[in-house]
Structure 1
């Protein structure tokens, strides 16, 4: 390849909308990560009082308190503490628990799989419930048909969406764990122990997403290309499954990604109801025990998870609808 040709290729590549899209997303995620990192660092310094004395107790010897403060670097200037925090973070060291003297990285590594399992299973359940129900309700109630069915669906979905996850969890424990004794009420054991936590997390988001799928599906069913497909006498499964559903999933994917981040946050309360050995129950224990290095580490992991989910959703939307990436300024 000649020099002139090579020099012409590079500007052409840089002008590509996909390159511009990638650069925008990379810049945004870097800024967001810096804000998250700084916020988690400042968390321990904005809390009134001495976190070390709070964690060790006010009767702890002053020598022990000072030694712990020195070990955590709390006696250094704030800018130096921030620099050490960033250096340790990129070296994979998130600090040491004040209470257990265990590495925060090890604590997170031990408990993260349990939180991921229940979150991902709940997300899969949400999609498995919401998309078929939303499509079915859109097909059967389009054009004002079956008003009673539409009213029942709307009322039920609104009711389920407004109930907090922990109240749903308590109700499920009482009915299916205490009264019927179908499933265990606490702990992470066999497959049955996953049922109640996963269902508790999935019910509310599934109700919200089903309504969104129905609305998006109704909008797509009113488009000209759907009427053309019907005029060609295509089978209903092709009209709804191949032509309508993919076009309705763009907004569904966006909301689904937001719900996945909400599911991750919802594990904090649900894990405590079911004594689930994940990050959610650990962060509550750490807050109550004033173990702020552990709280910092877990909050950082939750934040990174949200950033990654948003990035995956953005990329998926760009692949499904390239025009959205090209139109964006």
Structure 2
């Protein structure tokens, strides 16, 4: 068992390292694959030639490509993500100021997804198992499909119009206390919660037909014990996998939602940087987003292996 865990950890670490290297290399090549001079694009056509030369020299863009790549890797090791072409501020400093705001938005949304999807999926599985309550199953399926199909930015605009313009219950935009979190968190959470609740229901319907559930019922255990202690934990493997993918998708989804609500996070930062052609800033944000996605996937794999050690052994 110990050797299986060691092999599992080695495989996951190797996969993470290779994926991270590919991400870093792709982010480095981003500036060099853009047609034209990125410094000229960021500073504008009217920028003095001398200023362009100074900025290119400061960014090391006149050095050989392999030298720039090594400098880029050394900078990452020391936490240096480069310097903004527009503000001339360190990219790492800007990201350090904006990233916590995105996390403050994504984590409550993810918690809301889990808090809503798991109970709803459990209740619907219990109510509709064995083909019962066809009307309720149809209503749940139709509603969840509809909610899952609404893009985050469209739902965000609808929430603003309904509950900030027509009914002035919440602020239209900006961050101003706990009440300002309600609409953006809902915009991020509704579609993932609808998808995850369907996954929970399907997995529980499969589990509820297993022999050990029938044995638990034959022992006259309470419904609470049967569903919460025996059925739900065994249905969480696929649920956690989808939940991990959902979290990464929600972090990316904050890009559009933050811009709808003028939220001072990473989403608004990357949009502003793209519009200003501030490529080092875009590069840094892409790196942080990509590394976050890879890290979440690694943590989900480890958590699944802890909950179900057989999965680590099977892969060996």
TM range (shorter): over 0.9
Instruction: State whether structure 2 residue 107 is matched by structure 1 residue 96.
Output: no
Over 2 Å off, 4+ runs: none
Q: Distance in 2 between matches of 1:183 and 1:312?
A: 35
Instruction: State whether structure 2 residue 232 is matched by structure 1 residue 245.
Output: yes
Q: What residue is the counterpart of 2:73 in the other structure?
A: 86
5+ residue gaps in structure 1? 1-11
- The 5 Å alignment of 1:38-117 reads 38-117=25-104
Q: Distance in 2 between matches of 1:119 and 1:48?
A: 34
User: What is the CA deviation profile of residues 163-199 of structure 1, one whole-angstrom value per residue up to 9, with x for unaligned ones?
Assistant: 1000000000000110111111111120000001100
Q: CA deviation at 1:30?
A: 0.5
TM-score by length of 2: 0.99
Q: Distance in 2 between matches of 1:125 and 1:48?
A: 43
Count of aligned positions? 316
- The 5 Å alignment of 1:1-329 reads 16-329=3-316
Q: Distance in 2 between matches of 1:102 and 1:187?
A: 24
User: What is the CA deviation profile of residues 88-127 of structure 1, one whole-angstrom value per residue up to 9, with x for unaligned ones?
Assistant: 1101111111111111111000001000011111100000
Q: Distance in 1 between matches of 2:172 and 2:240?
A: 32
Q: CA deviation at 1:80?
A: 0.8
Q: CA deviation at 1:291?
A: 0.4
Q: CA deviation at 1:157?
A: 0.5
Q: Distance in 1 between matches of 2:37 and 2:137?
A: 56
TM-score by length of 1: 0.95
Q: Distance in 2 between matches of 1:17 and 1:247?
A: 22
Q: Distance in 1 between matches of 2:172 and 2:29?
A: 37
Q: Distance in 2 between matches of 1:305 and 1:117?
A: 15
Q: Distance in 1 between matches of 2:256 and 2:37?
A: 27
5+ residue gaps in structure 2? none
